[in-house]
Amino acid sequence: MYVKALLALTCAGQFMVLLDNTIVGAALPDMQQRLHTGLTGLQWIVDAYVLLVAMLLLSGGVFADRFGRRRVFLAGVVVLTAASVVCALAPSIGWLIAGRVLQGVGAAALSPASLALLTAAYPVPGERVRAIGLWAGFSGLGLAAGPLVGGMLVESFGWPAIFLVNVPIGAVLLLAGLRVLKESRNPGAPPIDVPGTVLSAAGVGAVTYGLIEGGSRGWTSPLILGSFTAGLVLLAAFVVVEARVPTPMLPLRLFRQRLFTVSNTAMVVVGFALMGSSFFFSQFFVYVQDTSILVAGLRTLPVSLAMVIVSPYAGRLAARYGFRVVVSIGLALAGLGLLALGFVHADTGYGNVWWRLAVAGIGFALTMSPLTGAAIQAVSPQEGGLASGVSSTTRQIGAVLGVAVLGAIVHMQESGGASFESGLNNAFLAAGAVTLACSMFTGLWLTAARTPRGARAEQSGGQAVSERPLTAPPSRLTSPSLSDCCDTWDR
């Protein structure tokens, strides 16, 4: 009875995280009108959340193992729920962005703690596989529900309603969690890498600031040039620190494995293209094709539905045909779908739009699980959970950069006198071109490096690294991550 209740609670917690990740996109047009903000403000509304999740996700898993998974899960629920109230009551764009930062902190605690609780409650591998599959499948409905639920709530009550929906979910989770959940922890968990966490967050944040604000403040202004310089210096300091601390949050030696490096590079591109293009979907339908917010939410569904339907088969296809083949085909499909969206205009009928969204969604669905599986396979079994967490983090970093860079493209087009529609076309074309280039990159390099048998056995903890893409067994999920929601559908 306990494990069933725990499964329900962890599923609901991850559902809350993923719903919040997609529901905001449907509300962006209404936020822009009611808060009197421009494209830059909308970029910060999205990136403030994603940036904090990206930078704290690895530390969140370690924090849960070290200080108690129940405690961190419930703390994540409290922070995410309270932050949602702050967002809903925000009187200005500044308060809303602050609330989104707090939401990101809560999500970065709640998500890894939910999977850590689940894996600890199912010690038998076979039962754990089924439990994680249910966790991923149910919570993954948040991806598909976000645009539809968001459109309905915004159309009826305005954008604050998309945040208030978290309040009853959070209240039920908190009350039930206090009564049902049992504490568990890993006494051998490594200490938290505070310098690495701070430097990475500050470095990526500074670069993101420059990318988002550069269009309005001027790319050569001292503030923007200073932010880029500070970001690069902080990231360089992060690399130096990670190479010297005894327990780094990101062991740089992992990147000596070509398979690990290439898979995470490709994951950055996936996050860049998927999140960067998704940021504009609802805006395209509302501002270019003049639909209502509800209709816009409905029209974006082919992307998320395609991902929900195809994701369960991605790992199986990769195990049969090889992750290089499946990932390269997936990236090519995603790139072609985005390129096709670059030629959609105000008078293009929806019958000639939805399939472009679906093709992009199918392509992205084919890439995420195999890329994480490839990263896991490049490291030792004891580091599989860390590899999964790094894969999720790189995707989130790509998402931050995608919203910033594609937004900058649209902003520069408008500043040059072009229409918003023309800017969107160029943004989609840029995302598609980058994704297609990445498909060629993975087609050439997404394989395990050829090393002697003995060396390969040593690298993988006594097991030779195969070029055949198998997703990690549940025993490796010692440091759960957001990506596991997608990665475990196929297990």
pLDDT in tens, 52-92: 998 898 888 888 888 888 999 999 999 999 999 999 999 99
Cα–Cα distances in Å, from 279 out to 42, 401, 424? 9, 12, 11
3-state secondary structure of 30: helix
| Helix or strand holding residue 337 (H, E) | helix 323-341
For residue 478, name the pLDDT band (cuts at 50, 70, 90): very low
- Provide the pLDDT for residue 450: 57
Which pTM does this prediction carry? 0.87
pLDDT in tens, 329-342: 999 999 999 999 99
Integer Cα distance of 4 and 139 in angstroms? 15
Domain end residue (candidates: 248, 268, 285) = 248
pLDDT in tens, 268-316: 999 999 999 999 999 999 999 999 999 999 999 999 889 888 988 888 8
- Provide the pLDDT for residue 127: 74
Integer Cα distance of 118 and 327 in angstroms? 29
For residue 342, the 8-state DSSP code is T
3-state secondary structure of 195: helix
Q: Is the pLDDT of residue 359 over 60?
A: yes
DSSP-assigned states of every residue in 377-429: HTS-GGGHHHHHHHHHHHHHHHHHHHHHHHHHHHHHHHHTT--HHHHHHHHHH
Query: Are residue 208 and residue 140 in the same domain, yes or no?
Result: no
Query: Are residue 163 and residue 202 in the same domain, yes or no?
Result: no
Q: Is the pLDDT of residue 324 over 60?
A: yes
Integer Cα distance of 161 and 150 in angstroms? 8
Domain count, the chain: 3
3-state secondary structure of 209: helix
For residue 436, the 8-state DSSP code is H
Query: Are residue 204 and residue 341 in the same domain, yes or no?
Result: no
For residue 140, name the pLDDT band (cuts at 50, 70, 90): low
Query: Are residue 363 and residue 433 in the same domain, yes or no?
Result: yes
Q: Please write down the long-range contacts of 244-248, taking CB distance under 8 Å and 24 or more positions apart.
A: 245/193, 245/195, 245/196, 247/190, 247/191, 247/193, 248/193, 248/196
Q: Is the pLDDT of residue 156 over 60?
A: yes
Query: Are residue 324 and residue 219 in the same domain, yes or no?
Result: no
Query: Are residue 319 and residue 289 in the same domain, yes or no?
Result: yes
pLDDT in tens, 410-430: 999 998 889 999 999 999 999
Q: Is the pLDDT of residue 455 over 80?
A: no
- Burial class of residue 219 in the structure, from the number of CB atoms within 10 Å of its CB (0-12 exposed, 13-18 middle, 19+ buried): middle
Does some domain include residue 467?
A: no
pLDDT in tens, 382-399: 777 788 888 888 999 999
Range of the domain at 138: 1-185
Integer Cα distance of 162 and 173 in angstroms? 18
- The amino acid sitting at 72 is V
What are the residues whose beta carbons fall under 8 Å from the beta carbon of 169, sequence distance 6 or more?
12, 15, 16, 81
Does some domain include residue 29?
A: yes
Integer Cα distance of 387 and 38 in angstroms? 38
Percent of the chain, pLDDT > 70? Answer: 89
Query: Are residue 397 and residue 428 in the same domain, yes or no?
Result: yes
Domain end residue (candidates: 207, 232, 248) = 248
Does some domain include residue 455?
A: no
Query: Are residue 263 and residue 398 in the same domain, yes or no?
Result: yes
For residue 27, name the pLDDT band (cuts at 50, 70, 90): very high
Q: Determine how many CB atoms are found less than 10 A away from the CB of residue 316.
A: 14
Counting Cα atoms < 13 Å in the Cβ hemisphere of 19 gives 26
Domain end residue (candidates: 225, 248, 271) = 248
- Provide the pLDDT for residue 456: 44
What are the residues whose beta carbons fall under 8 Å from the beta carbon of 325, sequence distance 6 or more?
none
Query: Are residue 40 and residue 181 in the same domain, yes or no?
Result: yes
- The amino acid sitting at 174 is L
Nearest-Å Rg of the Cα atoms of the chain is: 21
Query: Are residue 307 and residue 396 in the same domain, yes or no?
Result: yes
- Tell me, what CATH number does 159's domain have? 1.20.1250.20
Integer Cα distance of 211 and 189 in angstroms? 36
For residue 352, the 8-state DSSP code is G
- Provide the pLDDT for residue 475: 33
Q: Determine how many CB atoms are found less than 10 A away from the CB of residue 449.
A: 18
Supply the mean pLDDT for the chain: 86
Does some domain include residue 353?
A: yes
Does some domain include residue 464?
A: no
Alpha helices in 446-490 (DSSP H): 453-459, 484-487
Query: Are residue 306 and residue 415 in the same domain, yes or no?
Result: yes
For residue 284, the 8-state DSSP code is I
Does some domain include residue 174?
A: yes
Using the structure block, give the residue that is written with the tokens 């809303």.
Answer: 96
Does some domain include residue 234?
A: yes
For residue 482, the 8-state DSSP code is T
3-state secondary structure of 439: helix
Does some domain include residue 475?
A: no
pLDDT in tens, 186-202: 877 788 889 999 999 99
Query: Are residue 115 and residue 210 in the same domain, yes or no?
Result: no
Integer Cα distance of 335 and 57 in angstroms? 28
